[in-house]
């Protein structure tokens, strides 16, 4: 069964076409700079790499373009769209309603639209991808997989904020958590690597990309996570501030800053970019630090220090921790970050092997802890698309049996 996975962003569409249940990637690609003067497209498949440029004004035209490429007589990898039996969509926010992946109905679309106010940067483009796919693949089952779903198991002591309870009841203001598909995927891989039942492991998973979050997982269930009501809370990120004193916002408002400008500042101009004044890209900052740039050095130190504090907190939350996992573009490809974060935690049972750690940089599952380390440390490349494909396949299979 062929399953198409779509991750629709504000100006890009990432996709993978899987053969399930074999979990074979038939093709994967990226269409970016949608709505700009020139869009860029790249696809990798058994037929080789394909790179194209041209204008793609809307997400709808982008989805149509991708489908046409997949079915093209010369460049395509399938003969007809009828071969695609399910489409899985990444959706960032499902509020308290969606605790697992679901078949998309008109009601589900309305709910995703309603919850867009909780994830204004993510849910609207997710919806654009859903609506476009439903138009061009109208006879194909569509499935929504929610970033928030995995964290539904958080206890109220972890998800409640210390504000009047009526605000939670009326507006559902609480910690939701995000990157759930990534945290769950690497946790499952860790269980497989250690040859243990998923409900027997305690782990701390660190998803570190342009967006960053960390989760404490107790016997397969998320019990705490750093992102909160929105994806702005928690760790320092590429352009997001993470944890700050909320009074800062009121102070800046009193100084004449407009609310919309503050939202943009905290989401788009803060984090590594804000501190360094150079870039949100760790590769650029690492290079600048080596050249003696002081603000780049400080930005990277703040990044790893905040991560270390969260790891320490989650060690306390879990009590017994079997492993720590680094994933995401930053977590997978920066040995210095893993070392800077974990150095000094030897008394807590975490010992990193510098030689193993230095070699774990190319997207390969690797243990980077010393042989006698009480808590194991792993680098596990995330694969959110595969997780979405697995859920979509199961839902389509169940639907076909009804």
Statement to judge: residues 98 and 232 lie in one domain: no
In a domain, 18, yes or no: yes
Separation in Å, CA 352 to CA 179, 207, 266, 294, 304: 25, 19, 34, 27, 15
**Same domain (yes/no): 203, 330:** yes
Quick one: pLDDT at residue 199?
86
E-only strand ranges, 33-96: 39-45, 48-54, 84-91
Q: What is the pLDDT of residue 63?
A: 96
Do 247 and 114 fall into the same domain? no
Give CA separation, 152 vs 49, 156, 223, in Å: 39, 10, 9
Checking if the pLDDT of 224 tops 70, the result is yes
**Average pLDDT value for residue range 44-60:** 93
Q: Residues 13, 31: contact at Cβ < 8 Å?
A: yes
Q: Is the peptide bond before 21 cis (omega within 30 degrees of 0)?
A: yes
The answer to whether 4 and 87 have CB atoms below 8 angstroms apart is yes
pLDDT of 363: 80
Same domain, 89 and 226: no
- Among candidate residues 146, 162, 183, the one where a domain is terminated: 146
Range 36-64 burial, b when 16+ CB lie within 10 A, else e: eeebbbebebeeeebeeeeebeebbbbbb
Answer yes or no: is 281 within a domain. Answer: yes
Q: Give the three-state DSSP class for 376.
A: strand
What is the share, in percent, of the chain residues with pLDDT greater than 90? 93
Say yes or no: 350 and 210 in one domain: yes
Residue 286 scores a pLDDT above 80:
yes
Nearest to 41 by CA among 19, 72, 82: 72
Q: Quick one: 121 and 201 in the same domain?
A: no
Q: Is residue 187 part of a domain?
A: no
Same domain, 326 and 212: yes
Q: Is residue 217 part of a domain?
A: yes
Per residue in 136-176, pLDDT (tens digit) is 999 999 999 999 999 999 999 999 999 999 999 999 999 99
As a whole number, the mean pLDDT across the chain is: 95
For residues 140 and 210, state if they share a domain: no
- Residue 170 falls inside a structural domain: no
Alpha carbons 3 and 18: distance in angstroms, whole number: 5
Non-local (6+) Cβ contacts of 68 within 8 A are none
Mean per-residue pLDDT, 37-63 = 94
Residues 142 and 203 in one domain: no
For 31, the enclosing helix (H) or strand (E) is strand 24-32
Give the tens place of pLDDT for each residue, 124-135: 999 999 999 999
Considering the domain boundaries, does residue 397 fall inside one? no
Q: List, as own/partner pairs, every contact residues 95-101 make where C-beta atoms lie below 8 angstroms and the sequence separation is at least 24, other chains included.
A: 95/148, 95/172, 95/176, 96/152, 96/172, 96/174, 98/144, 98/146, 98/148, 98/149, 99/149, 99/152, 100/146, 100/149, 100/391, 101/143, 101/144, 101/145, 101/146, 101/149, 101/388, 101/391, 101/392, 101/395
> What is the pLDDT averaged over residues 290-303?
98
pLDDT digits (tens, 9 = 90+) for 66-109: 999 999 998 899 999 999 999 999 999 999 999 999 999 999 99
Q: Is 30 helix (H, G, I), strand (E, B) or coil?
A: strand
The residue with tokens 């409640």 is: 160
- Overall number of domains in the chain: 2
Please report how many Cα atoms fall inside a 13 Å half-sphere around the Cα of residue 88, on the Cβ side: 29
Q: For residue 394, how many other CB atoms are within 10 A of its CB?
A: 15
pLDDT tens-digit profile of 234-278?
Answer: 999 999 999 999 999 999 999 999 999 999 999 999 999 999 999
Location of structure tokens 């507006």:
171
Q: Is the per-residue pLDDT at 121 higher than 90?
A: no
Going by C-beta distance under 8 Å and a sequence separation of 6 or more, which residues neighbour residue 346?
none
Residues 152 and 138: beta-carbon distance below 8 Å: no
Q: Tell me, what CATH number does 126's domain have? A: 3.30.420.40
Pairwise CA distance, residues 133 & 113, whole Å: 16
Task: Say yes or no: 214 and 332 in one domain.
Answer: yes
10 pLDDT more than 90: no
Q: Which structural domain, as residue segments, surrounds residue 228? A: 197-384
Q: Which uninterrupted H or E stretch holds 354?
A: helix 354-359
Last residue of a domain, one of 146, 178, 206: 146
- Domain-terminating residue out of 109, 125, 146: 146
* pLDDT attached to residue 402: 60
- Please indicate, yes or no, whether residues 334 and 255 belong to a single structural domain of this protein: yes
Which residues are CB-contacts of 339 (< 8 A; sequence separation ≥ 6)? Answer: 352, 354, 357
- State the pTM of this model: 0.92
Q: How far apart are CA 127 and CA 316, in angstroms?
A: 39
Please say if the pLDDT value at position 114 is more than 80: yes
List residues with catalytic annotation. 147
Residue 321's pLDDT is 98
**How confident is the model over 323-367, as pLDDT tens digits?**
999 999 999 999 999 999 999 999 999 999 999 999 998 789 999
In the structure encoding, which two tokens stand for residue 209, read together?
Answer: 């990309």
**Whether residue 388 has pLDDT greater than 90:** yes
Query: Is residue 185 in some structural domain?
Result: no
Q: What is the pLDDT of residue 401?
A: 75
How far is residue 38's CA from residue 49's CA, in Å, rounded to a whole number? 20
Q: Check residue 362 and give its pLDDT.
A: 78
**Residue 100 belongs to some domain of the structure:** yes
Same structural domain for residues 6 and 129?
Answer: yes
């Amino acid at each position: 069964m062929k399953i198409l996975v779509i991750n629709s962003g504000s100006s890009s569409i990432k996709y993978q076409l899987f053969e399930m249940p074999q979990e074979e990637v038939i093709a994967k690609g990226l269409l970016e700079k949608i709505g700009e003067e020139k869009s860029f497209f790249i696809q990798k498949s058994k037929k080789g790499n394909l790179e194209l440029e041209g204008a793609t004004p809307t997400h709808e035209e982008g989805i149509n373009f991708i489908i046409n490429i997949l079915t093209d007589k010369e460049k395509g990898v399938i003969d007809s769209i009828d071969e695609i039996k399910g489409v899985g969509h990444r959706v960032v926010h499902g509020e308290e309603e969606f605790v697992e992946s679901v078949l998309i109905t008109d009601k589900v679309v309305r709910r995703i639209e309603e919850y867009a106010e909780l994830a204004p940067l993510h849910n609207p483009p997710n919806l654009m991808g859903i609506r476009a796919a439903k138009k061009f693949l109208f006879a194909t089952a569509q499935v929504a997989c929610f970033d928030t779903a995995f964290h539904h198991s958080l206890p109220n002591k972890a998800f409640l904020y210390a504000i009047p309870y009526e605000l939670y009841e009326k507006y559902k203001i609480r910690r939701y958590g995000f990157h759930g598909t990534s945290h769950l995927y690497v946790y499952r891989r860790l269980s497989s690597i250690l040859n243990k039942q998923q409900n027997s492991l305690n782990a701390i998973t660190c998803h570190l990309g342009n967006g960053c979050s960390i989760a404490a997982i107790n016997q397969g269930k998320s019990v705490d996570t750093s992102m909160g009501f929105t994806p702005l809370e928690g760790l320092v990120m590429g352009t997001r501030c993470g944890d700050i004193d909320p009074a800062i916002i009121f102070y800046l408002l009193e100084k004449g800053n407009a609310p919309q400008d503050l939202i943009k500042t905290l989401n788009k101009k803060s984090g590594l970019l804000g501190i360094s004044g150079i870039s949100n890209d760790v590769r650029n900052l690492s290079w600048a630090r080596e050249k003696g740039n002081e603000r780049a050095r400080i930005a990277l130190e703040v990044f790893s220090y905040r991560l270390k504090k969260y790891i320490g907190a989650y060690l306390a939350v879990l009590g017994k921790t079997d492993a720590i996992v680094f994933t995401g573009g930053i977590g997978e490809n920066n040995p210095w970050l893993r070392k800077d974060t974990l150095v000094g935690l030897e008394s807590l049972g975490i010992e990193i092997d510098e030689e193993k750690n230095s070699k774990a940089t190319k997207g390969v599952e690797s243990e980077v802890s010393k042989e006698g380390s009480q808590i194991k440390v792993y680098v596990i490349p995330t694969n959110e698309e595969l997780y979405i494909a697995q859920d979509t396949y199961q839902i389509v299979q169940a639907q076909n049996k009804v």
